[in-house]
A and B are shown apart, each in its own frame.
Chain A
């Protein structure tokens, strides 16, 4: 077991990945926000404002130069029970246990008493599914998929007056993508389906990228209220620097193997191109604070309707092209949280959120089975006596609704994805100079 954990850690260090926001969005960008259920757009009072509302940085100028870094571990699990005709009634499968750890780092530097500058490094999208069976019946769709998008961004925020600030920035997005699946073939001798190859489609490192932008405002109203809004733009990652590797599986029939080898380029790594559309995201939030408490709520929408298909093209082997139909819709999310400053140094937090799935039941598949999510979070914050360093820890329990494909799966892989849960736990450390 230890060895497995070690192996998992080694692999993940090379390729961190996960799947735990509706669709494949990640919101795990800071542990204070995590503890408050992500209801942070109208609060945005630590450097994770980089994600939740860049305008919030302008109200942190008095904090001086800040450095924040942390990680959130995500341990998801998911079960599947099949239906007939495929993969057959009663068939069950599970996701392999994996732990993902999207990191976050922020550097915040005031430029004047009204303007703050920040740099951030986060992972706003990710996906990782790995089915725990060599003979997994969905292996011709996906055995294992990994997607990770990193955002390296710079932002400027400006406090227009004591109550109003705006902020915005640009994001340099880079992605790693990998998809492993098997290739089926109808063996003419046995008249049954056999695996003739493994296809490993992957981007070459972090060489596929795109630019995006973001903006936000934060308005501090009288009587402790504040209103915040944020927008992060959509972007398209064009996977032009990607390739496929095919490994042949012998069938026991040399003439069948030779025929397969005449169709699939086993001896080279053919170039592939793909285009992945990522959604925009906006949030509007309302918060109320006094000396002891902060209460916060927000409503947001992710523009997932941009994700209509996943097309993979082989410019040199058009016969191998494939298109996966996705047909996502825009999805809503609600988040609520509170922060109770018990003493000058310690705070406790809790939150709840609901994240609607953008995925129609037809495109639920082993590649990405999604569902509506409810999540419940708690957190703890500490600030040193001098106020020059602190940490936040957070925990979130997330459940995904059970959903059946109702016999309408585009992949012809029908059944019910159920018992989708995740435990999220993390810590962020902040230093102020």
Chain B
């Protein structure tokens, strides 16, 4: 008994007080647009400094995470809500600074960035792609995301001195982070939602390739950084959770007849079928209506022209969701293989949001609803500042549980009230100058997402002669 008491006392002496058991001295975040803070179809400093890695770093006392900050209106002109009713979303008319060093004002920072979120990146891109800031000086913007983020194509290997490709993975390891988060995998699947067509190798990464890339990435990080706490994150597990896929109704009410399904090329839309946001623009042009003379809505991506489809059939949703589940299974499986890798289940968090099981903030309920749900930005794909805070808040809870840490929570009152980047200078509420018949999401707005997530297809579709040829089935 005495021994037990003595042991208890010694354990009590050894136990450190309740404080952070996790070291944020050097925090690096790897990922895609979700990590970069992409919102409303653009990368812009207002949202970059409100990304979940920055919110986490601030709460952990790690200060500013350096990143490829971009002045307004963002890398592409950020999307604005032109009119809520009738609904119209399009790029801002604000012009970027003429001087590239004012536009990409953090480009000359003489240190690697800690936020290595690369818009549009899939898992393989973090392993293979490099960038070179000199491209920008030469006026070449083809690889802009990597050029502004990684900035140098090669660096000497600290062990051998040989030049090696300076990929996002290498950039992360080179900083010898004490804490690392990795949220990657969304672009390995969700291009299928954007183009409304799941095709392996075109809109989705084949599963075996993803599995190999993911294991290489996380395994490489875990073994190169054996004393680093690494948190990896699952991805949203259901295509229908994205406002991009779940907002446009699939039927119309015809006076005197009732509710009539809209028409895709493969016939009327049925239960379980969905339309993507650009479909609303086509409906506004008279397509897809259940009346004679109305051309049907384009079902699927035309890989030759790059023209996307707008109809997500139930069977396509099933294929995408099965893939999302497989990807999340692979992520969880990899997490279990390494003692310094910890799994944060974002998928579960968003399931709670969608199912109404997520917490309330003093009576304020957030949801995945487009425009009024509080989480997603105007592109219907990416979260804005509140959505980023939802991820960061849950990540803080996770870290506190997993590492017995004591990171303070975010002040959600402030975040819920600060608004978007343009909140201080709102547009005219009555649609000024915009065409009520214009798309819910203008073609320019869609192109920004498209070129971000599926750049090769977008480039193909962006060629004017092809647009003319495919006019009847394009998203305009």
8 Å CB contact of A412 from B363, B371, B408, B426? B363
Which partner residue on chain A sits nearest B421 by CB separation? A191
Set of chain B residues within 8 Å of A191, measured between Cβ atoms: 374, 377, 384-386, 419-420, 423
Q: A86-B412, A253-B84, A255-B430 are contacts. A192–B363 as well, Cβ < 8 Å? A: no
A140/B362 in contact, CB under 8 A: yes
B416/A91 in contact, CB under 8 A: no
Per the 8 Å Cβ criterion, residues 71-123 of A in contact with B are: 82-89, 91
8 Å CB contact of A193 from B84, B85, B374, B385? B374
8 Å CB contact of B362 from A87, A188, A253, A255? A87
> How far apart sit A278 and B430, CA to CA, in the bound complex (Å)?
51
8 Å CB contact of B413 from A88, A181, A252, A254? A88
- In the assembled complex, the CB of A288 is this many whole angstroms from the nearest CB of chain B, namely 46
Does residue A170 face the partner (Cβ distance < 8 Å to B)? no
Does residue A301 face the partner (Cβ distance < 8 Å to B)? no
B413/A86 in contact, CB under 8 A: yes
Per the 8 Å Cβ criterion, residues 353-401 of B in contact with A are: 359-364, 366, 371-374, 377, 384-386, 393
Does residue A285 face the partner (Cβ distance < 8 Å to B)? no
Q: A84-B409, A253-B84, A256-B84 are contacts. A192–B417 as well, Cβ < 8 Å? A: yes
Total contacts A-B at CB 8 Å: 113
Per the 8 Å Cβ criterion, residues 163-211 of A in contact with B are: 181, 184-193
How many A residues face the partner with a CB closer than 8 A? 35
Per the 8 Å Cβ criterion, residues 401-421 of B in contact with A are: 408-414, 416-420
8 Å CB contact of A190 from B411, B412, B419? B419
- In the assembled complex, the CB of B118 is this many whole angstroms from the nearest CB of chain A, namely 25
Set of chain B residues within 8 Å of A192, measured between Cβ atoms: 416-420, 423
Set of chain A residues within 8 Å of B429, measured between Cβ atoms: 189, 252-256
Does residue B427 face the partner (Cβ distance < 8 Å to A)? yes
Set of chain B residues within 8 Å of A189, measured between Cβ atoms: 81, 84, 423, 426-427, 429
B372/A85 in contact, CB under 8 A: no
> How far apart sit A140 and B360, CA to CA, in the bound complex (Å)?
11
> How far apart sit A236 and B410, CA to CA, in the bound complex (Å)?
41
B413/A87 in contact, CB under 8 A: yes
8 Å CB contact of B85 from A82, A85, A259, A407? A259
Which partner residue on chain A sits nearest B430 by CB separation? A254
Does residue A271 face the partner (Cβ distance < 8 Å to B)? no
- In the assembled complex, the CB of A84 is this many whole angstroms from the nearest CB of chain B, namely 4
> How far apart sit A181 and B364, CA to CA, in the bound complex (Å)?
12
Does residue B130 face the partner (Cβ distance < 8 Å to A)? no
> How far apart sit A89 and B418, CA to CA, in the bound complex (Å)?
16
Does residue A413 face the partner (Cβ distance < 8 Å to B)? yes
Q: A189-B81, A252-B429, A254-B430 are contacts. A86–B362 as well, Cβ < 8 Å? A: yes
B408/A193 in contact, CB under 8 A: no
Does residue A258 face the partner (Cβ distance < 8 Å to B)? yes
Interface centre among B371, B422, B427 (most CB of A within 10 A): B371
A137/B371 in contact, CB under 8 A: no
A85/B393 in contact, CB under 8 A: yes
Q: A84-B410, A84-B411, A191-B386 are contacts. A412–B417 as well, Cβ < 8 Å? A: no
A84/B412 in contact, CB under 8 A: yes
> How far apart sit A254 and B409, CA to CA, in the bound complex (Å)?
36
A412/B362 in contact, CB under 8 A: yes
> How far apart sit A193 and B414, CA to CA, in the bound complex (Å)?
10
> How far apart sit A252 and B424, CA to CA, in the bound complex (Å)?
13
> How far apart sit A184 and B417, CA to CA, in the bound complex (Å)?
11
Does residue B83 face the partner (Cβ distance < 8 Å to A)? yes
- In the assembled complex, the CB of B353 is this many whole angstroms from the nearest CB of chain A, namely 13
Q: A88-B412, A192-B416 are contacts. A412–B361 as well, Cβ < 8 Å? A: yes
> How far apart sit A254 and B431, CA to CA, in the bound complex (Å)?
11
Does residue A310 face the partner (Cβ distance < 8 Å to B)? no
Which partner residue on chain B sits nearest A91 by CB separation? B413
- In the assembled complex, the CB of B265 is this many whole angstroms from the nearest CB of chain A, namely 32
Chain A 221-234, CB-CB to B under 8 Å as 1, else 0, gives 00000000000000
Does residue A23 face the partner (Cβ distance < 8 Å to B)? no
> How far apart sit A348 and B426, CA to CA, in the bound complex (Å)?
69
> How far apart sit A412 and B364, CA to CA, in the bound complex (Å)?
9
> How far apart sit A85 and B394, CA to CA, in the bound complex (Å)?
11
Does residue A126 face the partner (Cβ distance < 8 Å to B)? no
Interface centre among A84, A259, A411 (most CB of B within 10 A): A84
Chain A 61-72, CB-CB to B under 8 Å as 1, else 0, gives 000000000000
Q: A191-B384, A191-B419, A259-B85 are contacts. A140–B408 as well, Cβ < 8 Å? A: no
> How far apart sit A88 and B81, CA to CA, in the bound complex (Å)?
29
Does residue A38 face the partner (Cβ distance < 8 Å to B)? no
Which partner residue on chain B sits nearest A84 by CB separation? B409
8 Å CB contact of A411 from B360, B386, B412, B419? B360
B423/A137 in contact, CB under 8 A: no
> How far apart sit A252 and B414, CA to CA, in the bound complex (Å)?
21
- In the assembled complex, the CB of A196 is this many whole angstroms from the nearest CB of chain B, namely 11
B411/A193 in contact, CB under 8 A: no
Set of chain B residues within 8 Å of A181, measured between Cβ atoms: 363
Which partner residue on chain A sits nearest B371 by CB separation? A188
> How far apart sit A187 and B427, CA to CA, in the bound complex (Å)?
13
B362/A137 in contact, CB under 8 A: yes
Set of chain A residues within 8 Å of B413, measured between Cβ atoms: 82, 85-88, 91, 137
> How far apart sit A156 and B200, CA to CA, in the bound complex (Å)?
85
Interface centre among A87, A141, A412 (most CB of B within 10 A): A412
A193/B416 in contact, CB under 8 A: yes
A86/B361 in contact, CB under 8 A: yes
> How far apart sit A88 and B393, CA to CA, in the bound complex (Å)?
13
A190/B426 in contact, CB under 8 A: yes
A85/B412 in contact, CB under 8 A: yes
Set of chain A residues within 8 Å of B416, measured between Cβ atoms: 86, 192-193
Does residue A353 face the partner (Cβ distance < 8 Å to B)? no
> How far apart sit A186 and B420, CA to CA, in the bound complex (Å)?
11
- In the assembled complex, the CB of B461 is this many whole angstroms from the nearest CB of chain A, namely 28
Which partner residue on chain A sits nearest B377 by CB separation? A191
Does residue A138 face the partner (Cβ distance < 8 Å to B)? yes
A186/B426 in contact, CB under 8 A: no
> How far apart sit A416 and B361, CA to CA, in the bound complex (Å)?
16
8 Å CB contact of B84 from A85, A255, A407? A255
Which partner residue on chain B sits nearest A260 by CB separation? B372
> How far apart sit A162 and B359, CA to CA, in the bound complex (Å)?
62
Q: A192-B416, A192-B417, A192-B418 are contacts. A85–B411 as well, Cβ < 8 Å? A: yes
Which partner residue on chain B sits nearest A252 by CB separation? B429
B362/A138 in contact, CB under 8 A: yes
Which partner residue on chain A sits nearest B428 by CB separation? A253
Which partner residue on chain A sits nearest B426 by CB separation? A189
> How far apart sit A140 and B361, CA to CA, in the bound complex (Å)?
9
* Pairs A–B under 8 Å by Cβ, sample size 30: A85-B361, A85-B410, A85-B413, A86-B361, A86-B364, A86-B412, A86-B413, A89-B409, A91-B413, A141-B363, A181-B363, A188-B81, A189-B426, A189-B427, A191-B420, A191-B423, A192-B416, A192-B417, A192-B418, A192-B419, A192-B420, A193-B417, A252-B429, A254-B429, A255-B85, A255-B430, A256-B85, A411-B362, A412-B359, A413-B363
Beyond A190-B422, A411-B363, 11 additional contacts (C-beta under 8 Å) are A82-B413, A85-B410, A186-B373, A186-B374, A253-B426, A255-B84, A256-B85, A256-B429, A259-B84, A411-B362, A413-B361
B positions within 8 Å CB-CB of A: 81, 83-85, 359-364, 366, 371-374, 377, 384-386, 393, 408-414, 416-420, 422-423, 426-427, 429-430
